[in-house]
Structure 1
Amino acid sequence: MIIGFMEDNDILNEEFLPFIRTEKGQQLYDGYLRTVQKHYPQYVEELRGMAEATGVPFSKFFAAALRPELSSIIDLDRHGNEGCTDIYVKTSKQLLLGHTEDLSRSQEGRVFILHATISSQTDGQTDNAQVQERFTAITCAGMLPGNTFGLLPDCGLIYTINDLYPVVVDMEKIPRQVVNRAMLASEDFSDMQQRCACPGVGIANGFCANIGNLSQEPELWTIEVAPVPEEPRSRLEKRQFQPASSASADVFVHVNRYELLEVEEIPERLKSSAQRCKRISELPAPADIPGLQHILGDEQGEHFPIFNHNMKSDVETLFAVIVDLTKALVYVYSKNPKLGPSNILPIS
């Protein structure tokens, strides 16, 4: 599965790898690797482990982990837009989050649910090992987990990710996919915010995390992050999705553009978000799970449908989730959400 993905990934093989062999590309690659090795060496080891197990060079795994940064730096807008759509819904009885995940067609059939427990060991002894991380993630073969959907049962957190596209991508900062992987190790909501912010070093690229917090009363939060050029910090803005004040449903939509922070964004990368938001405004506002399924499964639109199976694009919607924070359940859809869930996961 991993070897097949590495062989079939045209953008990796035809764009990223030739670029990192150039003088500029090698400098960027080396700078990002030094930064990750310094701040998150354990995730470098995760990639090395996959490389050793498959016989695929480590450089291919690390270059794949730099997809958000390299796509912007070498201007790959022509390859299409990933179009993740998130919809928050709050009624007097339910708090819901819906998410679609658009990924490269090379990842079709290579997406899976990962349940992981990572423990410390001393001298090979497991008797006294302590759990360092416990999470469930929907992930792709050959990639670090945490970049699409993450669930932390011990602290009652779930999150989904929207790619964001600031014009400025910073060098020798922590790559976005590494930050999202680190979120899976969060101890609580405050710790997750710190991991998003990357204090003392800063993030290389932008993203939005849509976070459900069940540690007490269920909450939904939006956190947007952007790089700060040549400064060892990130910009971060957060906002809680406030409860409905009446029996009618409150709805908030987040796609692949900034809503909270004022950031200069790559214009070509905003076309998909604009069209999906327009289409959502034309559909009945969701007030329950069937309403969310109807919107997340909408295939109308020639270029940028919400549920994208457009054969003209190099990306497609490979899965969707609906999180019911009131019941602490996650519904996973491997096909169009209108067809019903393929898996149901408890949050705790």
Structure 2
Amino acid sequence: MYLFLNVVAVLTVLGGTCEQIGRRRAVPVIYLRGSHYEVGYDVGRTFSSLIKDFIDTYANLRDFEKEYKTDAGRNAYEITLANMKKKYPFYINEMQGVADGAKVPFNVLFLLQMDDIIETINENHIPRQDTGGCSSIGIHTAHDAILGHTEDAFHETLNHFYIMSAHIIPTEEDKKLGAVEERFASLCYAGHMPGYTMGFNANGLVFSINTLSPLILKPGSTPRTFITRALLTAKNFDDAEKILLDEGLGVANGFSVNMIWSDINNVRKIYNVEVAPDLTSNRSLINVKHFENEPLIHTNKYLRLQLKEVNGPIIDSSNARLEAIYKHRSPKNRDDIQNILSDTSRQDFHVFQDQKESVIKTIAAGVFDLEKKTWSIYINKPNSSEPIAVLPLRFTNLEN
């Protein structure tokens, strides 16, 4: 059973830009069961106004649409779509369900998944000035296993998200194509697939994602959002690693994933995996780090994989946030993590990004507490506010 604290569930009010309505203390949650298409359709139908408003106001989408109209952009779109129809046809069905339910064009939703792959299709030779901002901190001690995360996104995403708690029961046709039964919960940006934010699955996984920006991308390969969508099916860490490697195509753009895995004996392990396009083979470049006696700390720059990244705010912000994080004492418990995630000590970039003029905003913060088996969602700083929603971590596939 889900516990909600001070929920303001006003879906019809969440439309409109964040400048018009400010930061809403609301976490819409939808509970779903059905096939990929059915679940997608119900998400689209329920959050139609939210999805349409996001599509109308998201400035980056205008850039994606402009590139889509070029020969190179349309070619990259068609090749990527064809490859995803072969590799993950059931996720395409899920997206089609969202499009049909929300009554929005499918190609617009697919452009959202392509993101910087299509945005840079005609300018990979120009030094990019990417922007980003998620921060993740995890610890595993004798007394605690905690993963904390600030979900940072372009300011239009503020108030334009929801949580899916889904039980996917694939159709017989989808099963033949590789689909499996799934139980998961994930925060989702409006119109996006679940998985590219933070959440958990029934197999003992809790996770958060950090966007990373390699300079050279691989149009036609697997968009990161499809890989993180597939990660929701992972049964254990080895399975997750196989999904991240993505043999046959490899990831087209970059990210890192922070994971705490619990097994049937309640043994927990914490990992960070950096993922990047491999320009010389049809698989992803990955670097795995298992954390035992030190905290996991990751922002939006590669810390271990050696490759050329973009310049600009995403790197400047990452360096500033890392510097701010390491000025705190090494986190030992949940309070320490919540204090760090709430840091606004610097003038240039904050860990909890709430500057009025900032392009990037912290739209929510999440704290996964494995001892309490809860996922707490905060809209304001987690060290000085109550969570708006507290969801139970239900690892049903580990239960006897």
Question: Map of 1:35-184 to 2, 5 A cutoff?
Answer: 35-73=83-121, 74=123, 81-121=131-171, 132-153=181-202, 155-184=203-232
Letter in 1 for 2:143: K
- The Cα shift of 1:303 comes to 3.1
**Which of 291, 295, 298 matches 1:254?**
298
Length-normalised TM-score, structure 1 = 0.90
Q: Where does structure 2 lack aligned partners over 5 or more consecutive residues? A: 1-49, 174-178, 395-400
Length-normalised TM-score, structure 2 = 0.79
Hey, what's the Cα distance between the residues in 2 that align with 1:187 and 1:89? 22
Offset from partner CA, 1:151-187 (integer Å, 9 cap, x none): 112x111111011111110121101111111111223
Q: 2:202 aligned with 1:202, yes or no? A: no
Counterpart for residue 294 of structure 1: 339
**Which of 7, 10, 16 matches 2:59?**
10
Hey, what's the Cα distance between the residues in 2 that align with 1:76 and 1:182? 31
What is the DSSP-based 3-state SS (H/G/I as helix, E as strand, rest coil) of the residue aligned with 1:337? coil
Letter in 1 for 2:325: I
What is the DSSP-based 3-state SS (H/G/I as helix, E as strand, rest coil) of the residue aligned with 1:331? strand
- The Cα shift of 1:83 comes to 0.6
Q: Is the 8 A contact 2:214 2:253 kept in 1?
A: yes
The structure-2 alpha-carbon separation of the partners of 1:204 and 1:131, relative to structure 1 and needing over 3 Å to count, comes to closer
Q: Where does structure 1 lack aligned partners over 5 or more consecutive residues? A: 124-129, 245-249
Instruction: Provide the aligned C-alpha RMSD in A.
Output: 2.0
Q: Is the 8 A contact 1:170 1:230 kept in 2?
A: no
Hey, what's the Cα distance between the residues in 2 that align with 1:283 and 1:223? 24
Counterpart for residue 247 of structure 1: none
State the identity as a percent. 29
Please list every run of at least 4 consecutive aligned residues from structure 1 whose deviation after the TM superposition is greater than 6 angstroms.
none
Q: Is the 8 A contact 2:341 2:382 kept in 1?
A: yes
Hey, what's the Cα distance between the residues in 1 that align with 2:89 and 2:382? 38
Counterpart for residue 358 of structure 2: 313
Counterpart for residue 281 of structure 2: 231
Hey, what's the Cα distance between the residues in 2 that align with 1:22 and 1:86? 37
Counterpart for residue 347 of structure 1: 393
- The Cα shift of 1:323 comes to 1.6
Q: Is the 8 A contact 1:101 1:148 kept in 2?
A: yes
Q: Is the 8 A contact 2:272 2:296 kept in 1?
A: no
Hey, what's the Cα distance between the residues in 2 that align with 1:57 and 1:284? 49
Counterpart for residue 241 of structure 1: 291
The structure-2 alpha-carbon separation of the partners of 1:304 and 1:159, relative to structure 1 and needing over 3 Å to count, comes to same
Hey, what's the Cα distance between the residues in 1 that align with 2:170 and 2:142? 43
Counterpart for residue 235 of structure 2: 187
Offset from partner CA, 1:61-108 (integer Å, 9 cap, x none): 100111142345457955x62211111223332122211110122222
